[in-house]
Structure 1
């Protein structure tokens, strides 16, 4: 058996998952990169503004040493090891330092391009530094720790991850709803096919989405072609049966004449073969007459349908004084052509009435996806070793009983046309025969 292909729902789900995941990942990298560039630019711009402020507030003191009129406006320069530092030096010797350096000083810069931000490492800390020479040989330096910038970027990336995760989840929910909505026509199509197979409709509706129009059209053409072939085959089978009856009748007549002329053994052999041929013809014609699920509707109420057959059997077997009990509950719908169901029930109930001592009981129930019809009698039953054989065409265990030996075989074959079964066994008391017909509610 070839492996089953993945469903469309699974394929769409995988495609949506990959697309949303890849899109979210790319969007995260792009947004994070753009924000990083923006924050870095703002970071450098703020440092340049602080450097402007530092140079404007620095004045020469009475002793020639530079003094600061007031602290810088950013309070982070006042907090020790805050990550924001400034320094004023002359000749490589620090003259003024920010409180945030906490008594330390910056290493003398080697930046030969003034007002150009560069990354340096000072006291094991990565710093973004801008230097600017001033009057009197002063060198103004302002720095910011890379950990400040990294912390801001990490905080943004964390928020971005949560936001994109929530967005991706919403996108996946939307994709799932879209897949469900998009595949709804396939579910309707499956339902229509089930109705078609049950006999509720004889073709698929033409009002389908454009993508399914070609498939539905071809299926309808196939259904119509198959119906024509089946009808033709049934007619030809019937014609063949009728055409064989005349030659068979002639052979039978000749055999009877042989018997009258004293050739009894030869006549008996020929008559036996003619009887077998007649049974085969009757069997095949009954099979050809079976609709096999190609009817136009469902039996609405099995109990009412069975009641008519039971009444007919009571009249047919009135001389045997057998009680036929119809215990089929109401409102059980059987997906079976009425003619086929009548053939099954008539054969089985008639067979039970022939062998029952006093009672024949018909019951039914719905179990899971099956409808189970039970015809039980209190007769002698059938031995285990003979049950398979009695289902053969023309097989009769007791030739003294009237019949052709076709009823059980025909009933089994008709049930099989609907995906059902016919099983024989002892009844609940362990004595008489119990025939169980099981038909699926919706054929798969």
Structure 2
């Protein structure tokens, strides 16, 4: 199952990690460029001092007025060096700080400049500024170098502290993100609760007091729910109205055949009377079904604690003339299960059949065990023989043809049980002596 909350956490976390990495790399690059530019500008200033101290009054034989130079260029391996490459002069000028070392410096034309990174004495990391000049009609290339090892170490420290700070910031942002995403997703909690209440029959539609992002979905769901409920009610009412409308004409036809002398009955008349009686029983069943189901929300789950007592009360009214004792027992902690209309039709048909054949007592028990719901109906009637019981459970045998009187009610029960991948058993009741029907439905 895909979790919207997990996907939000993943992609937002990934975005923050990439963002922090970009900030870290950009910050390090900016610091390196800043320090290098600062060092290069200082080298240029030193180069101007060197050019001012350089004298070509003797032609290409150059000399430096050393008093104008910074003494750092006279200290061996001080980290500050210069090299002057004079055109047509094989003897370049080196700073005393280089001692017996040298640097590979290219010869540049006038005005051309470069910035180089070279390894100096004692593996020093040198930044070298090189530029071509002309003074006193002499062309030369000046290179000024500075050791950046200390600055590089400071940059490495900065990178480490910046990385620690970035990781701490990332952890804080991820924690804040987790809280924000969770609070946003929790706003969908009322929608889940409304759906649960809808399934339990506690409400007829979903509340539209929801975030605007899911409001169209909730509105469309409510619209479909309203249409479905109207269609169910319309179909139920139409079926009941049709049965009521046909009951009068059929009663008249049955009475017409009853008034005919038995001697005048032909074979066709007998068959027509049987079919009329069959249609009358079907209508009675549909009317009884409408009364058993009553009014409820489409898709509502069956609450045995609430629905079964009402169903027993209705059956007591239907069979009031027989003074039947209709008892029931319900496990206290049994949860809701099945569709309300399906369960009412299933239990109602079984109880109605039991009431039809019972002598005085009918017992209904509802419970669950090992994730299996069990509905047991018993009566104290004559029961069925072993051969008839075997016929009832045969696959493909229509129940209305197996046993007279149980009719389509048991056929519908079998269809509902198959729909829920359940099982139905017919046995003789040990307690009452009549028929015992056990329906097992997996949770």
SS across alignment from 1:435: strand
Question: 1:422 and 1:319, CA in 2 relative to 1: closer, same or farther beyond 3 A?
Answer: farther
Matches of 1:181 and 1:225, distance apart in 2: 34
CA distance, structure 1, for counterparts of residue 184 and residue 76 of structure 2: 58
User: Does the 8 A contact of 2:312 with 2:326 survive in 1?
Assistant: no
Q: 1:313-359 CA distances to partner (integer Å, 9 max, x unpaired)?
A: 9x99x999x99784x42132436798875654354356568599x99
Equivalence map 1:21-32=2 (5 Å):
23-32=19-28
5+ residue gaps, structure 2, are 52-63
Between the aligned partners of 1:304 and 1:268, the Cα distance in structure 2 is 41
Q: For residues 280 and 350 of structure 2, what CA distance do their matches in structure 1 show?
A: 21
What is the aligned partner in structure 2 of residue 301 from structure 1?
305
**Residues 77-114 of structure 1 deviation map (CA, whole Å, 9 limit, x = unaligned):** 55xxxxx343578984666533xx57423456746779
Distance change in 2, residues 1:323/1:14 (3 Å): closer
TM-score (norm 2): 0.64
- Which structure has more RCO (C-alpha within 8 Å, separation ≥ 6)? 1
- Within-5 A mapping of 1:9-158: 9=5, 12=8, 16=12, 19-20=15-16, 23-45=19-41, 72=72, 77=77, 84-86=79-81, 92=91, 97-98=96-97, 103-107=100-104, 110=107, 118-119=115-116, 121=118, 127-130=126-129, 142-144=144-146
Question: Is the aligned partner of 1:425 residue 2:416?
Answer: no
**Any residues of structure 2 matched to 1:25-424 within 5 Å, and which?**
25-45=21-41, 72=72, 77=77, 84-86=79-81, 92=91, 97-98=96-97, 103-107=100-104, 110=107, 118-119=115-116, 121=118, 127-130=126-129, 142-144=144-146, 160=162, 163-164=165-166, 167-168=169-170, 170-257=172-259, 260-263=262-265, 265-289=267-291, 290=293, 291=295, 293-294=297-298, 299=303, 301=305, 305=309, 326=329, 328-334=330-336, 344-349=346-351, 351=353, 354=357, 362-365=365-368, 372-375=373-376, 380=386, 382-383=389-390, 386-389=393-396, 392=399, 395=400, 397-399=402-404, 403-411=405-413, 420=420, 423-424=423-424
- 1:191–1:285: structure 2 CA closer, same or farther, 3 Å change rule? same
**Distance (whole Å) between structure 2 residues aligned to residue 144 and residue 295 of structure 1:** 83
User: Under a length normalisation based on structure 1, what TM-score does the superposition of the two structures give?
Assistant: 0.64
The separation in 2 between residues aligned to 1:428 and 1:246, in whole angstroms, is 39
Contact kept, 8 Å, 1:390 with 1:396, in 2: the verdict is: yes
CA distance in 2, matches of 1:15, 1:184: 19
The 3 A distance-change label for structure 1 pair 202 and 122 is closer
Cα distance between partner residues in 2 of 1:144 and 1:332 = 86
Aligned pair in 2 of structure 1 residues 204, 391: CA closer, same or farther (>3 Å)? farther
Whether the 8 Å CA contact 1:302–1:334 is kept in 2: the answer is no
> Which residue of structure 1 lines up, in the alignment, with residue 439 of structure 2?
436
Aligned residues of 2:316 and 2:326 also touching (Cα < 8 A): no
Distance change in 2, residues 1:277/1:196 (3 Å): same
Q: Deviations over 1:18-41 (max 9, x none)?
A: 644554454345333322321222
Q: SS of 1:104's equivalent?
A: coil
CA deviations 1:347-390 (Å, max 9, x no partner) are 4356568599x99783512655xx71331669748327744456
Deviation for aligned residue 1:45: 4.8
SS at match of 2:206: coil
**Alignment partner of 2:423: what SS?**
strand
- Indicate conservation of the 8 Å contact 1:28/1:160, yes or no: yes
Deviations 1:379-404 (A, max 9, x none): 74832774445675xx15333xxx44
Q: What is the deviation of 1:232?
A: 3.0
Q: Is the 8 A contact 2:417 2:423 kept in 1?
A: no
Aligned residue-pair number: 408
CA apart distance, 1:424: 0.8
RMSD: 5.8
3-state secondary structure, aligned to 1:204: coil
